[in-house]
Protein backbone atom coordinates (compact mmCIF):
# COMPACT_ATOMS: atom_id res chain seq x y z
CA UNK A 1 0.00 0.00 0.00
CA UNK A 2 2.93 2.35 0.63
CA UNK A 3 4.06 2.04 -2.98
CA UNK A 4 0.53 2.62 -4.27
CA UNK A 5 0.22 5.85 -2.30
CA UNK A 6 3.66 6.94 -3.49
CA UNK A 7 2.74 6.16 -7.11
CA UNK A 8 -0.46 8.19 -6.91
CA UNK A 9 1.42 11.10 -5.34
CA UNK A 10 4.00 10.91 -8.15
CA UNK A 11 1.30 11.23 -10.81
CA UNK A 12 -0.33 14.18 -9.07
CA UNK A 13 3.05 15.89 -8.79
CA UNK A 14 3.96 15.53 -12.47
CA UNK A 15 0.61 15.74 -14.27
CA UNK A 16 -1.42 18.94 -13.84
CA UNK A 17 -4.45 17.11 -15.27
CA UNK A 18 -4.55 14.79 -12.26
CA UNK A 19 -7.15 16.19 -9.89
CA UNK A 20 -7.97 13.67 -7.18
CA UNK A 21 -6.41 10.51 -5.81
CA UNK A 22 -9.49 8.51 -6.83
CA UNK A 23 -9.29 9.81 -10.40
CA UNK A 24 -5.63 8.82 -10.60
CA UNK A 25 -6.30 5.41 -9.10
CA UNK A 26 -9.04 4.62 -11.63
CA UNK A 27 -7.92 6.41 -14.78
CA UNK A 28 -4.16 6.13 -15.29
CA UNK A 29 -3.11 3.05 -17.32
CA UNK A 30 0.55 3.79 -16.63
CA UNK A 31 -0.09 3.13 -12.95
CA UNK A 32 -2.07 -0.03 -13.67
CA UNK A 33 0.74 -1.32 -15.88
CA UNK A 34 3.34 -0.69 -13.16
CA UNK A 35 1.24 -2.31 -10.46
CA UNK A 36 0.71 -5.37 -12.62
CA UNK A 37 4.40 -5.49 -13.48
CA UNK A 38 5.42 -5.69 -9.83
CA UNK A 39 3.40 -8.87 -9.42
CA UNK A 40 4.68 -10.30 -12.70
CA UNK A 41 8.29 -9.43 -11.81
CA UNK A 42 7.94 -11.30 -8.51
CA UNK A 43 6.56 -14.31 -10.37
CA UNK A 44 9.40 -14.13 -12.91
CA UNK A 45 11.95 -14.54 -10.14
CA UNK A 46 10.02 -17.32 -8.39
CA UNK A 47 10.01 -19.88 -11.22
CA UNK A 48 6.62 -18.90 -12.62
CA UNK A 49 7.89 -17.36 -15.83
CA UNK A 50 5.26 -18.69 -18.21
CA UNK A 51 2.49 -17.47 -15.92
CA UNK A 52 4.25 -14.14 -15.55
CA UNK A 53 4.41 -13.73 -19.34
CA UNK A 54 0.74 -14.61 -19.65
CA UNK A 55 -0.27 -12.04 -17.05
CA UNK A 56 1.93 -9.44 -18.74
CA UNK A 57 0.00 -9.97 -21.97
CA UNK A 58 -3.28 -9.46 -20.10
CA UNK A 59 -1.78 -6.28 -18.65
CA UNK A 60 -0.83 -5.17 -22.14
CA UNK A 61 -4.36 -5.83 -23.43
CA UNK A 62 -5.95 -3.60 -20.80
CA UNK A 63 -3.35 -0.81 -20.66
CA UNK A 64 -1.66 -0.71 -24.07
CA UNK A 65 1.70 -0.89 -22.27
CA UNK A 66 4.03 -3.86 -22.67
CA UNK A 67 6.54 -4.40 -19.87
CA UNK A 68 8.45 -7.67 -19.84
CA UNK A 69 8.29 -9.36 -16.42
CA UNK A 70 12.08 -9.49 -16.32
CA UNK A 71 12.51 -5.71 -16.61
CA UNK A 72 13.60 -3.82 -13.49
CA UNK A 73 11.51 -0.74 -12.73
CA UNK A 74 12.43 1.69 -9.96
CA UNK A 75 10.23 3.72 -7.62
CA UNK A 76 8.28 6.87 -8.48
CA UNK A 77 8.34 6.06 -12.20
CA UNK A 78 5.63 7.84 -14.19
CA UNK A 79 4.40 6.44 -17.52
CA UNK A 80 2.26 9.25 -18.93
CA UNK A 81 -0.54 8.28 -21.35
CA UNK A 82 1.41 5.10 -21.98
CA UNK A 83 -0.16 3.70 -25.16
CA UNK A 84 2.48 1.89 -27.20
CA UNK A 85 5.22 1.86 -24.55
CA UNK A 86 7.45 -1.23 -24.80
CA UNK A 87 10.05 -2.10 -22.15
CA UNK A 88 12.22 -5.15 -22.87
CA UNK A 89 13.33 -8.04 -20.69
CA UNK A 90 16.74 -6.76 -19.59
CA UNK A 91 15.82 -3.07 -19.42
CA UNK A 92 16.46 -1.19 -16.18
CA UNK A 93 14.52 1.98 -15.32
CA UNK A 94 15.82 3.98 -12.37
CA UNK A 95 13.90 5.96 -9.78
CA UNK A 96 11.86 9.05 -10.65
CA UNK A 97 11.95 8.50 -14.42
CA UNK A 98 9.22 9.81 -16.72
CA UNK A 99 8.29 7.89 -19.88
CA UNK A 100 5.79 9.19 -22.41
CA UNK A 101 3.61 7.33 -24.91
CA UNK A 102 5.13 5.36 -27.76
CA UNK A 103 8.53 4.91 -26.13
CA UNK A 104 10.52 1.75 -26.84
CA UNK A 105 13.32 0.52 -24.59
CA UNK A 106 14.37 -2.20 -27.00
CA UNK A 107 17.17 -4.61 -27.75
CA UNK A 108 19.54 -4.91 -30.71
CA UNK A 109 20.92 -8.39 -30.02
CA UNK A 110 19.50 -11.89 -30.29
CA UNK A 111 21.81 -13.26 -27.60
CA UNK A 112 20.56 -14.12 -24.12
CA UNK A 113 22.42 -11.33 -22.41
CA UNK A 114 21.93 -7.72 -21.28
CA UNK A 115 20.58 -6.30 -24.53
CA UNK A 116 18.21 -3.50 -23.45
CA UNK A 117 18.99 0.00 -22.17
CA UNK A 118 19.47 1.22 -18.62
CA UNK A 119 17.90 4.52 -17.57
CA UNK A 120 19.52 6.08 -14.52
CA UNK A 121 17.51 8.14 -12.03
CA UNK A 122 15.48 11.19 -13.10
CA UNK A 123 15.57 10.48 -16.83
CA UNK A 124 12.82 11.82 -19.09
CA UNK A 125 12.08 10.02 -22.37
CA UNK A 126 9.84 11.95 -24.77
CA UNK A 127 6.94 10.57 -26.77
CA UNK A 128 7.84 8.14 -29.54
CA UNK A 129 11.53 7.94 -28.64
CA UNK A 130 13.44 4.70 -29.23
CA UNK A 131 16.32 3.84 -26.90
CA UNK A 132 17.94 0.70 -28.24
CA UNK A 133 20.64 -1.70 -27.15
CA UNK A 134 22.71 -2.26 -24.04
CA UNK A 135 23.38 1.42 -23.43
CA UNK A 136 23.07 3.72 -20.44
CA UNK A 137 21.19 7.01 -20.28
CA UNK A 138 22.78 8.97 -17.45
CA UNK A 139 20.93 10.54 -14.54
CA UNK A 140 18.99 13.76 -15.21
CA UNK A 141 19.29 13.27 -18.97
CA UNK A 142 16.41 13.92 -21.35
CA UNK A 143 15.63 12.20 -24.64
CA UNK A 144 13.58 14.31 -27.06
CA UNK A 145 10.39 13.08 -28.69
CA UNK A 146 10.85 10.67 -31.64
CA UNK A 147 14.61 10.48 -31.13
CA UNK A 148 16.49 7.25 -31.82
CA UNK A 149 19.27 6.70 -29.29
CA UNK A 150 21.89 4.02 -30.01
CA UNK A 151 24.80 5.10 -27.80
CA UNK A 152 25.39 6.02 -24.16
CA UNK A 153 24.01 9.38 -23.05
CA UNK A 154 26.03 11.33 -20.45
CA UNK A 155 24.31 12.50 -17.30
CA UNK A 156 22.59 15.88 -17.44
CA UNK A 157 22.40 16.13 -21.23
CA UNK A 158 19.60 16.53 -23.77
CA UNK A 159 19.57 14.23 -26.79
CA UNK A 160 17.39 14.79 -29.87
CA UNK A 161 17.20 13.59 -33.46
CA UNK A 162 17.76 10.48 -35.57
CA UNK A 163 20.29 9.26 -34.65
CA UNK A 164 20.28 10.99 -31.27
CA UNK A 165 22.71 13.88 -30.86
CA UNK A 166 23.60 15.81 -27.71
CA UNK A 167 22.36 19.38 -28.15
CA UNK A 168 22.85 20.87 -24.69
CA UNK A 169 24.15 20.17 -21.23
CA UNK A 170 22.65 21.26 -17.94
CA UNK A 171 24.62 23.55 -15.72
CA UNK A 172 24.71 23.14 -11.93
CA UNK A 173 22.50 26.22 -11.56
CA UNK A 174 19.66 24.84 -13.67
CA UNK A 175 16.68 23.20 -11.94
CA UNK A 176 16.34 19.40 -11.90
CA UNK A 177 14.79 17.53 -14.78
CA UNK A 178 11.50 17.00 -12.94
CA UNK A 179 10.94 20.76 -13.14
CA UNK A 180 11.94 21.05 -16.81
CA UNK A 181 10.38 18.02 -18.47
CA UNK A 182 8.79 20.01 -21.29
CA UNK A 183 11.83 22.20 -21.93
CA UNK A 184 13.37 20.17 -24.76
CA UNK A 185 14.95 22.14 -27.62
CA UNK A 186 13.73 21.74 -31.18
CA UNK A 187 16.05 19.40 -33.10
CA UNK A 188 15.76 21.28 -36.41
CA UNK A 189 16.32 24.63 -34.75
CA UNK A 190 19.40 23.30 -32.97
CA UNK A 191 20.80 21.99 -36.27
CA UNK A 192 20.26 25.36 -37.99
CA UNK A 193 21.98 27.16 -35.11
CA UNK A 194 24.97 24.85 -35.44
CA UNK A 195 25.17 25.51 -39.19
CA UNK A 196 24.97 29.28 -38.66
CA UNK A 197 27.87 29.19 -36.24
CA UNK A 198 29.97 27.10 -38.65
CA UNK A 199 29.20 29.43 -41.58
CA UNK A 200 30.12 32.44 -39.45
CA UNK A 201 33.46 30.89 -38.51
CA UNK A 202 34.21 30.06 -42.16
CA UNK A 203 33.35 33.60 -43.26
CA UNK A 204 35.67 35.09 -40.66
CA UNK A 205 38.48 32.67 -41.50
CA UNK A 206 38.30 33.43 -45.22
CA UNK A 207 37.66 37.16 -44.75
CA UNK A 208 34.90 37.13 -47.34
CA UNK A 209 32.17 38.50 -45.10
CA UNK A 210 33.64 40.18 -42.02
CA UNK A 211 31.56 41.04 -39.00
CA UNK A 212 29.09 39.16 -36.89
CA UNK A 213 26.71 36.75 -38.48
CA UNK A 214 22.96 36.51 -37.87
CA UNK A 215 21.72 36.33 -34.31
CA UNK A 216 21.68 32.73 -33.13
CA UNK A 217 18.63 31.86 -31.03
CA UNK A 218 19.21 30.61 -27.53
CA UNK A 219 18.84 26.88 -26.77
CA UNK A 220 17.72 25.98 -30.28
CA UNK A 221 14.35 27.76 -30.06
CA UNK A 222 13.59 30.20 -32.89
CA UNK A 223 11.64 33.40 -32.32
CA UNK A 224 10.42 36.07 -34.71
CA UNK A 225 13.12 38.58 -33.80
CA UNK A 226 15.81 36.08 -34.82
CA UNK A 227 14.72 36.44 -38.43
CA UNK A 228 14.57 40.24 -38.55
CA UNK A 229 18.26 40.62 -39.37
CA UNK A 230 19.25 41.80 -42.87
CA UNK A 231 21.20 38.56 -43.20
CA UNK A 232 17.87 36.76 -43.60
CA UNK A 233 16.41 39.13 -46.20
CA UNK A 234 15.43 37.53 -49.53
Give the chain's domain count: 2
136 and 57 part of one domain = yes
- My answer on whether 84 and 193 are in the same domain is no
* Same-domain status, 17 and 101: yes
Check whether residue 168 and residue 212 sit in a common domain: no
In a domain, 91, yes or no: yes
Q: Give the model's pLDDT for residue 205.
A: 79
**Residue 170 and residue 224 share a domain:** no
Chain centroid offset of residue 7 CA: 19
- Domain for residue 166, yes or no? yes
User: Would you say residue 43 lies in a domain?
Assistant: yes
- Residues 6 or more apart from 7 whose CB is under 8 A from it? 31, 34, 35, 76
Q: How far apart are CA 204 and CA 144, in angstroms?
A: 33
The pLDDT score that the predictor gives to residue 199 is: 82
Q: Measured between alpha carbons, how far is 203 from 206 in angstroms, rounded to an integer?
A: 5
73 by Cβ neighbours in 10 Å (0-12 / 13-18 / 19+) ranks as buried
Task: Supply the Cα-derived Rg of the chain in whole angstroms.
Answer: 21
Domain that holds residue 208: 188-229
pLDDT of residue 233: 46
Are residues 43 and 85 both part of a single domain? yes
- pTM here is 0.71
CA dihedral 2, 81, 94, 147 (to 10 degrees): -170
Q: Report yes or no on 180 lying in a domain.
A: yes
CB atoms within 10 A of CB 127: 17
Going residue by residue through the chain, which has 234 residues, state the pLDDT in tens, using 9 for 90 and above: 568 889 999 999 998 898 899 999 999 999 999 999 999 999 999 999 999 999 999 999 999 999 999 999 999 999 999 899 999 999 999 999 999 999 999 998 888 889 999 999 999 999 999 999 999 999 999 999 999 999 999 999 999 988 888 887 655 445 554 455 555 555 566 667 777 788 888 878 777 655 555 555 555 555 555 445 555 444
Please, are residues 93 and 99 in contact by the beta-carbon 8 Å criterion?
Answer: yes
Q: Is residue 118 part of a domain?
A: yes
Residue 193 shares a structural domain with residue 165: no
Within-domain flag for 234: no
- CB contact set of 210 (below 8 Å; sequence gap of 6+): 203, 204
Residues 82 and 11 in one domain: yes
CATH code of residue 85: 2.160.10.10
User: Do 80 and 61 touch, CB atoms closer than 8 A?
Assistant: no
Q: Specify whether 121 is located in the same domain as 162.
A: yes
Amino acid sequence: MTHIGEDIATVRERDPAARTRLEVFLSYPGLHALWGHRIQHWMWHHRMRTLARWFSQINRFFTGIEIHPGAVIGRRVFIDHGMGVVIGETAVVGDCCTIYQGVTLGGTSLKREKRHPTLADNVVVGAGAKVLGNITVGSNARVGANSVVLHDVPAGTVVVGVPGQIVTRRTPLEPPVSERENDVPDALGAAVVSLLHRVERLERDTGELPGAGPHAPERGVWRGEDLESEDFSI
